[in-house]
Amino acid sequence: MDKSATAPAGPLGRPRIRAAEYLRMSTDRQIYSIDNQRDAIRNYAKVMGYDIVATYEDPGRSGLSLVGRPGLQQLLEDVESRRADFETVVVYDVSRWGRFQNTDESATYEYRCQMAGVRIEFCAELFVNDGSIGSDVLKAIKRSMAAEYSRMLSNRVFAGQS
């Protein structure tokens, strides 16, 4: 059943969409605080006509791995088990989804959501995650940049310990 069909109208008279938000913050950058992410996601949701019905959080968690990220693990479990009561997950940006060293890992988790009928949207990115060639190329670049940032940070920490 289409859950949005009975929802009140959103922008332009379209049905409202039920959405979840995913928030992650490591300890490296306060600009990505949970509150800042939530504010940006909620503003985006309002403009898009989304109702945030679920929140998944990984505060103080590294984005390098799925291990140690109970929020993302629960999100994936809910989506794949079809318990999710939403059609879209809104994430602040690609790096909040993860800074996986293998960019295919990041893509895999997004693909698992897509296969279960749940879209991933990045509210602070300058591309629409619509599967177009432009979107896919930009997302791949952003994933690589997120991974490289973590490698660079790790090298700096390691060099500082020598």
User: The tokens of 35 are what?
Assistant: 């509150």
Question: Which pLDDT score, from 0 to 100, does residue 4 have?
Answer: 46
Q: How confident is the model at residue 11 (pLDDT cuts 50, 70, 90)?
A: low
Q: pLDDT at residue 35 above 90?
A: yes
Closest CA to 38 of 123, 133, 161, 148: 123
Compute the C-alpha angle 78/82/84, nearest 5°: 50
| 101: its two tokens | 């060293």
Structural domains of the chain sorted by starting position, each given as residue range(s) with its CATH number in brackets: 3-161 (3.40.50.1390)
> Where is average pLDDT lowest: 83-87, 122-126, 140-144?
140-144
Integer Cα distance of 50 and 11 in angstroms: 9
Token pair recorded at residue 51: 């109702």
Token representation of residue 98: 């993860």
**93: three-class secondary structure by DSSP:** coil
